Amino acid sequence: MKNVELIPVPALSLNPSLLPLFSYLVPAGFPSPASDHLEGLFDLNRLLLRHPDATYLLRVSGESMAGAEIHTGDLLAVDKHMEADHNHIVVAVVHGECTVKRLVREGQKWWLKPENPAYQPYEITDTDELRIWGVVTHVVHELIPGKLTALVQSLD
């Protein structure tokens, strides 16, 4: 990713955004709004922001992580407080360039691996040339184009 845009999460007290959460498991379709399946209200901030003071949003450019369902235009919730470990998807800076890749350990070697066979993995040999900016905890992927793109563009 060459064009990186960090979108900071404001240091305000986050007001909960409560949505109905149904206990009914749906293979495909919409849950019945019957009250006997209503578990309660759920705050999406609790899910997306484990560490609100250490979380930022990042807009994706490129298709190197398409196999992980991360595509151009998606927003990533990135937690700077979490320690990166094997198999985590991370935001890293390598030789001054920002990238999103899967962190993989194979024996004694560590790699930044894309989730697209058109891209090459990067073996981490010089830790002075690598900085982990955080662990990707969630992907916001828009299924009906428009709202997310418009929101992000309004921040530009």
Residue 64 among the catalytic residues: yes
- Asked about 101 being catalytic, the answer comes back as yes
In this structure, the number of other CB atoms found within 10 A of the CB of residue 102 comes to 19
- Which residue in the list 61, 101, 109, 113 is annotated as catalytic? 101
- Which two structure tokens, joined as six digits, stand for 56? 């930022």
How many residues are there in the chain?
Answer: 156
Among residues 23, 32, 61, 64, which one is catalytic?
A: 64
Angstrom distance (rounded) from CA 116 to CA 22: 35
How many alpha carbons lie under 13 Å from residue 29 in its C-beta half-sphere?
7
The CB density around residue 66, as the number of other CB atoms within 10 Å, is: 16
Give the separation between CA 52 and CA 73, rounded to whole angstroms. 22
The residues assigned a catalytic role are 64, 101
